[in-house]
Every structure is written in structure tokens, then in C-alpha cells.
Structure 1
């Protein structure tokens, strides 16, 4: 069963998020350390929360894994990726792990 791991970066008062660093440095780190175990990656930059509404999130990264073993293997290699988070944001990421159903 395929699983997804979503990392959601909420916009909160007083927080920052460097989209250029995230795209050009952080996501390549994800590929370098975890990529061998990831089937697909999608990163979405928040633009709006609906018509005439500001976004609630800076970005959402979605990684799809073939199964739990692949996700566990990727997470075992995630140390450098996790350590890099303060370099581009000071918001507290939220995590959603789920079964891919569609």
C-alpha cells in the first residue's frame, strides 16, 4: 500500500519562510538523502486560501512511498534534512502521513 508524507508549513504571525532556499537547497537535500526511497515528490507554494483569502500555508511538500518500509528507510536517512529546516523557516512544520487512495 502506497503511503504519503506531507510536510505542511503553516503561516503564523512573526514567522518567515525562504522559498528560494527551500527550492534550491532544501529540496535537493531531500533528494540526496531520502530520494532513493521516494516514488514521487510534489511541492506546492501557497498562493491563496480561497477567493480573496490569503494562504494559510507557506508550502506543502508531498512525498509518496511504495510502502511503509520505503517510508521508514527514507526517514532513517532524514537527519540532515531535518537539521536544515531552521535555515529556511521558523514556523513549526505539521506532518500528515496517510494512505494513498487516489
Structure 2
């Protein structure tokens, strides 16, 4: 199982609409990915540890796929629609993508 994470860095005075991201963009992506997507979630950054510190990331979206090829196949078919939706929730551009292999899940 692989996890595709999209990390959006915190930016002072940056715009990020976490409500839109969690309720519109991510469900759209999951719908476009279809059965290849085995699950998804959204994390909204709160802080960096000590009270009052800004989080390193304002939000992170996660998708689960059986294989890396399964992700590339569905993303390649829908990347334009997803990229075109980015201005609806942020003025910070594309997030940073991290693809990881899940070794342990509890």
C-alpha cells in the first residue's frame, strides 16, 4: 500500500480555505480517482509543538493506493481538473508531494 501526501506549507498571510479543501477538493479528487483510491484523509495544521507557534504545514491531504502505478494512472487522467481547482482554496500554488510506502498500520 502506498500513501500519496500533498503538503501545503504555512505562509504568513497566505490564503488557504481548509473548508473548501476538505469538503470540495479532496472529495472531487477521490471521485475522479474512483476505485483505485482506497481511502483519503485531510490534516489541518494547528501548531509546531509549542503553544502559539505556526504549523509547518497549513494542511496535508492523503490518498491511499495499492500501487504507485495505480496512482500515476488515475492522476495522469485527471491532473488538469485537479490543478485547475487549486486557486479555489489557496493562493500558494501546488503543494509538495510525498509518496511513501506504508509498512505498518494499526
TM-score by length of 1: 0.87
Deviation per CA, 1:2-44, whole angstroms, max 9, x where unpaired?
2211100101233210112112221221122113211111211
Q: Hey, what does 1:101 align to over in structure 2?
A: 103
- Gaps of at least 5 residues in structure 1 are none
In structure 2, C-alpha distance between the alignment counterparts of 1:32 and 1:40, rounded to whole Å: 11
Which residue number corresponds to residue 23 of structure 1?
22
1:83 aligns with 84
Contact 1:5 1:63 (C-alpha < 8 Å) held by counterparts: yes
Counting only pairs closer than 5 Å after superposition, residues 40-59 of structure 1 correspond to structure 2 as: 40-52=39-51, 53-59=53-59
Q: How many residues align?
A: 101
Partner residue in 2 for 1:70: 70
The CA RMSD over aligned residues, in Å, is 1.5
**1:74 Cα deviation from its structure 2 partner:** 2.0
Runs of 4+ in 1 over 4 A off after TM superposition: none
